[in-house]
Amino acid sequence: MYVYDQHDQKIIDERVAQFRDQTNRYTAGELSEEEFLPLRLQNGLYVQRLAPMLRVAVPYGLMSSAQLRKLAEISRVYDKGYAHISTRQNVQLNWPLVAEVPDILADLASVQMHAIQTSGNCIRNTTTDQFAGVACDELQDPRPYCEIIRQWSTLHPEFAFLPRKFKIAVCGTEEDRAAIRNHDVGIELVTNDSNEIGLKVLVGGGLGRTPVIGSVICEWLDKKHMLTYLEAILRVYNQHGRRDNKYKARIKILVKAMGIAAFREAVEKEWEATKEGPSTLHDAVFEKARASFRAPDYSAFDAGETSAILHGECERDGIFKQWVTHNTEDHRVPGYRIVTLSLKSTGYTPGDITAEQMELVAGLADKYSFGELRTTHQQNLVLADVPVSDLYTLWQNLQSADLATANIGLLTDMICCPGGDFCALANAKSIPVAEAIQTRFDDIDYLHDLGPIELNISGCMNACGHHHIGHIGILGVDKKGQEFYQVCLGGSQAKDASLGKILGPSFKQDDMPDIIENILTTYLSQRQLEENFLDTYRRIGIEPFKERVYAKNN
Ligand code: HEM
Ligand code: SF4
């Protein structure tokens, strides 16, 4: 993974010292709440319902075991002994004390981590496929591109005060596992007619109050132009994006207002001035970035032999087999598999991980996956390079820590924002709804029979939980001071991205497991061979679901 040079380390060390001074002045009453606000936001510190929340940056979701171990220690010393994996692959701490945040940042800096640009109207963490570099369907590893964007965007003087926050995602695969169509800018690695790899660029996607699927602004861009082109997009946005209304300030609103053709024209015009300028990326820059993501020292396994061993283990142990089927993926190197650790066991808040679990995972990463791990935007963890011969032992270790639920991609592997339990913006709680659904649908055989289903929950229309792009989406709404839940169906975050359609009037919290059950029963009664939930929904439409859910006797 990318290792800081002196320059990177200096930036974050200096930032820790500055923020310590700012915090000291704030706690001594020398800085007002108002003066402290932009300073704390620049360091990832929000003020929330019960306590502040600190969002720690995890560049493109990649972490070392040492970093995870440090997070475990921080969560134990300064917080309540757990952390939360966010849908932008970052890590959030829900209970730090403001006065202790400088110490937390100093601890983070000791393992090359920080919280810079995890909030505020700047370019946020660039996200990517959690299987980057090891996926079988990958054209090229997207992480060097993300790292180049990280270096360029960190403390970029021109883009520190954009109209609103700005999020970029990159994917290098046939399948889109980074939800690039729902980002301010989405980049997909693609080939042109001459089989050269370049970038397909999408712009103006996003969720929140006005969900939009991004539009293609450029079908194929030479990779050397990545930064100059991004700069041109951001300049047009910085100049013309609305600043009078927070809800209309995102780039998606500007692209909609101008139309993609006019927006493209404005970007091309802006780009003319800088196209071959100093931000042009020469091959050496890519080579340097790629060197940070060189493949680990893989052993040469006999693929036939290892798969025979795995087959035998699966035959002996049906529960292990389920886990291998749902929580592991093919790896591009023979004899290895990619393993997803489920942070969605019944009884745990989706995406939360305890200090003990973090320490265990750090140890397992050292032992079985070259000391690295990844966070996923579905709020799980990934060990990317596990020898097939170690899978059984790894699984036993994970089982003992409730990290081996065989539910990846299934109903209970839900995305859930912190909602009213933590978030000051919430209209309703999300965690109890997630827990009630997990408890009702705890039967793993039933879940496997349902097939792939993405259920996403947000506690308000900001859509942190991505409810619009869940196959089933749940949105907390406020009705005269009471918490209610609106359901939408048919969203997708994949290449065939779509936004969910609202089912109808909202429901009470207690009714949610029944409502989901009615939706699932409708699907099961209508599905045709090999169809999954989304296929069935797309074939039959929303009406049959509506009829069942709102039937009088329901
Ligand atoms: C608890 C403190 C949090 C606060 C105050 C907060 C605030 C917000 C706000 C205001 C938006 C609106 C964006 C818009 O205008 O489009 C938003 C969106 C978002 N938040 Fe959060 N959030 C919090 C926690 C989280 C968590 C825990 C996650 C991940 C699980 C998350 C991930 C996101 C994502 C992915 C969006 C994206 C919508 C988009 O721009 O496409 N946030 N958040
Ligand atoms: S969706 Fe709303 S309630 Fe949930 S975390 Fe985001 S801002 Fe908070």
- Strand partners for 91: 56, 85
Residue 351 Cα: closest atom of ligand 1: 30
Residue 425 CB–ligand 2 contact under 6 Å: yes
Ligand 1 centroid to residue 149 C-alpha, Å: 21
Residue 168 CB–ligand 1 contact under 6 Å: no
Q: What is the pTM assigned to this prediction?
A: 0.93
Residue 254 CB–ligand 2 contact under 6 Å: no
Statement: residue 554 has pLDDT above 60: no
pLDDT tens-place string over residues 129-174? 999 999 999 999 999 999 999 999 999 999 999 999 999 999 999 8
Q: Is 187 helix (H, G, I), strand (E, B) or coil?
A: strand
Q: Which has the closest alpha carbon to 225: 277, 173, 269?
A: 277
If you average pLDDT over residues 274-302, what whole number do you get? 96
Encoding tokens for residue 250?
Answer: 């995102």
Ligand 2 centroid to residue 168 C-alpha, Å: 20
Report the distance separating Cα 376 and Cα 110, nearest Å.
Answer: 24
Query: Other C-beta atoms within 10 Å of 243: how many?
Result: 13
Q: pLDDT confidence of 72, banded at 50, 70, 90? A: very high
Cβ-based neighbours of 138, under 8 Å, separated by 6 or more? 129, 131, 132, 172, 173, 332
Ligand at shortest distance from the CA of 207? 1
pLDDT tens-place string over residues 342-371? 999 999 999 999 999 999 999 999 999 999
Residue 182 CB–ligand 1 contact under 6 Å: yes
User: Do the Cβ atoms of 313 and 392 come closer than 8 Å?
Assistant: yes
Ligand 2 centroid to residue 458 C-alpha, Å: 6
Ligand 2 centroid to residue 461 C-alpha, Å: 7
Ligand at shortest distance from the CA of 88? 1
Ligand 2 centroid to residue 463 C-alpha, Å: 6
* pLDDT confidence of residue 47: 84
Statement: residue 4 has pLDDT above 90: yes
Q: Is 379 helix (H, G, I), strand (E, B) or coil?
A: coil
If you average pLDDT over residues 454-464, what whole number do you get? 96
* pLDDT confidence of residue 533: 98
* pLDDT confidence of residue 51: 80
Residue 458 CB–ligand 2 contact under 6 Å: yes
Largest Cα span, the chain:
68
Measuring from atom 2 of ligand 2, which residue has the nearest CA? 460
* Average pLDDT of the chain to the nearest whole number: 96
Look up residue 133 and give its DSSP letter: T
pLDDT tens-place string over residues 402-446? 999 999 999 999 999 999 998 989 999 999 999 999 999 999 999
Q: Which has the closest alpha carbon to 126: 153, 105, 106?
A: 153
Q: Which has the closest alpha carbon to 177: 502, 498, 494?
A: 494
Ligand 1 centroid to residue 270 C-alpha, Å: 30
Ligand 1 centroid to residue 326 C-alpha, Å: 28
Residue 376 CB–ligand 1 contact under 6 Å: no
pLDDT tens-place string over residues 23-50? 999 999 999 999 999 999 999 999 877 7
Q: What are the start-end ranges of the H helices in 46-170?
A: 65-78, 101-109, 143-153
* pLDDT confidence of residue 50: 74
Residue 464 CB–ligand 2 contact under 6 Å: yes
Ligand 1 centroid to residue 417 C-alpha, Å: 8
Ligand 2 centroid to residue 416 C-alpha, Å: 9
Radius of gyration (C-alpha) of the chain in whole angstroms: 23
Statement: residue 553 has pLDDT above 70: no
If you average pLDDT over residues 179-201, what whole number do you get? 97
Residue 39 CB–ligand 2 contact under 6 Å: no
Residue 144 CB–ligand 2 contact under 6 Å: no
Ligand 1 centroid to residue 490 C-alpha, Å: 22
Q: What are the start-end ranges of the H helices in 369-443?
A: 391-400, 431-440
Q: Is 450 helix (H, G, I), strand (E, B) or coil?
A: helix
Measuring from atom 42 of ligand 1, which residue has the nearest CA? 464
Q: Which region among 48-52, 57-61, 99-103, 529-533 has the lowest average model confidence (pLDDT)?
A: 48-52
Count of residues in the chain: 554
At 36, the amino acid letter reads F
User: Do the Cβ atoms of 173 and 190 come closer than 8 Å?
Assistant: no
Encoding tokens for residue 334?
Answer: 């023979």
pLDDT tens-place string over residues 255-281? 999 999 999 999 999 999 999 999 999
Instruction: HSE, CB side, 13 Å, CA atoms: give it for residue 212.
Output: 25
Cβ-based neighbours of 222, under 8 Å, separated by 6 or more? 198
Residue 463 Cα: closest atom of ligand 2: 1
Measuring from atom 6 of ligand 2, which residue has the nearest CA? 464
Ligand at shortest distance from the CA of 461? 2
pLDDT tens-place string over residues 384-408? 999 999 999 999 999 999 999 999 9
Residue 424 Cα: closest atom of ligand 2: 8
* pLDDT confidence of residue 48: 76
Residue 423 Cα: closest atom of ligand 2: 8
Residue 351 CB–ligand 2 contact under 6 Å: no
Do the bridges between strand 197-203 and strand 215-221 make them parallel or antiparallel, or are there none, so unpaired? antiparallel
Residue 475 CB–ligand 2 contact under 6 Å: no
